Amino acid sequence: MRIVINGAGIAGATLAYWLRRSGHEVLLVEEAPHLRTGGYIVDFWGIGYDVAERMGLIARIRELGYQVKEVRFVDDQGRKRGGFATEAIVAQNAGRFTSVLRSDLAATVYEALDADVETIFADSITAVDEHDGHVTIGFAHASPRDVDLVVGADGLHSRIRALAFGSDSTFAAPLGFHVAAFEVRGYRPRDELVYVVHGKPGRQISRFAMRDDTTLFLFVFRDEYLGSHAVVTEQDRKAAIAETFSDVDWECPRILSAMEAVDDVYFDGVTQIRMDRWTKGRIALIGDAAACVSLLAGEGSGLAMAEAYVLAGELRQCGDNYSPAFALRTAPDALSRTQAACRGEVRVVVRTRDAGRPRVSQSRHRPDAISNVRRSLSRPQFARRYRDAQLLGRAGLKR
């Protein structure tokens, strides 16, 4: 089949890889002029790690990644006030855990395509017209083409979702936070393999020392700090971050001053995408476009890879008849059963030392607010549920 994928990120490149191996003719479309670089770092483990292993990519991902040793909470003076060593998390995952730049992960998957998949950069699908057993797609720049299937792997603000399923407001569930990130060269101090976090109520800033003398900064803050400012340009983004963190101590003044020279600030709302169906006719969604769980949940990149893998496997099972494969891509079956199984409250317990005295603070979250199905389940349980829904088991793709 001729299959076009909008978005050459983690989900899109993974899907292209597996579809190509089944002999499909694949076209990737990416709006950026080249693969995106920088951004932020993701913890990578679980089901996505399994898929990457089947693609033979683990060695490269670990080479590009970081084996973080400690998460450290510091006070205004930079003194350690809490935190944890990551060894328990790594051990729980039998060492199958690393932290890697989102862009490095996407590039590693893309490189595995071996230039065997046509990619159009600096363009985007702007029209999808399904008729007479195929889909005519229009581009912002390229000439229209006829294809058999269209897959939106174009992230949280998916164009394909908007074109085929409806506006963002129908599916987007903002979680009340914004996130921003940027990289600075030559910043001091550096704490190698330590994720350093400083927080005030409603605002948090983290720094992580990376290779090539680069430091990554991540800001998360409640929406109310943003006020009613429209944040459109790079200058708006910097102004919003500077204003929000203007009264925060620690290294904040130095970090904000370093931000002035940065030319690529990531900035977005923390939002989930909640849909009942991920297919419509010959059009499907995967990754954040279909079911963004958000950074508060984690493992979105692993989910994106698993969704791509499962969809490719189902399409292979179904030959040229895509309908049964797409019919399986309704959210409810596997996920709602799992969500139902983990209703109740998730309790987050943070132990800190305040003036020498241990202090325990607890916060409670409804899991459907976090909507991270996998966090409540161990990996074998998740795999079993997928097998129950005849997904992972049927896919059974091999490298």
Ligand X SMILES: Cc1cc2nc3c(=O)[nH]c(=O)nc-3n(C[C@H](O)[C@H](O)[C@H](O)COP(=O)(O)OP(=O)(O)OC[C@H]3O[C@@H](n4cnc5c(N)ncnc54)[C@H](O)[C@@H]3O)c2cc1C
Contact footprint for ligand X (CB under 6 A): 6-12, 29-32, 36, 40, 42-44, 102, 124, 153-155, 159, 179, 181, 287-289, 295, 298-302, 304
Cα–Cα distance between 288 and 301 in angstroms, integer? 8
Tokens of 335: 């996920």
Nearer to ligand X, 152 or 313 (CB): 152
Minimum distance, C-beta of residue 157 to ligand X, in the bound complex (Å): 6
Nearest 5°: CA angle at 155, between 151 and 156?
125
Cα–Cα distance between 347 and 299 in angstroms, integer? 19
Residues in the chain: 399
Minimum distance, C-beta of residue 147 to ligand X, in the bound complex (Å): 15
């340009």: which residue's tokens?
A: 233
Minimum distance, C-beta of residue 354 to ligand X, in the bound complex (Å): 28
Cα–Cα distance between 52 and 84 in angstroms, integer? 28
Nearer to ligand X, 65 or 302 (CB): 302
Nearer to ligand X, 40 or 386 (CB): 40
Nearer to ligand X, 78 or 277 (CB): 277
Cis peptide before 367 (omega within 30 of 0): no
Q: How far is CA 259 from CA 107, 168, 247, 306, in A?
A: 26, 30, 16, 35
Tokens of 272: 């989930």
Minimum distance, C-beta of residue 79 to ligand X, in the bound complex (Å): 26
Nearer to ligand X, 160 or 258 (CB): 160
Nearer to ligand X, 24 or 374 (CB): 374
The backbone torsions φ and ψ at residue 74, rounded to the nearest 5 degrees and listed phi first, read: -120, 155
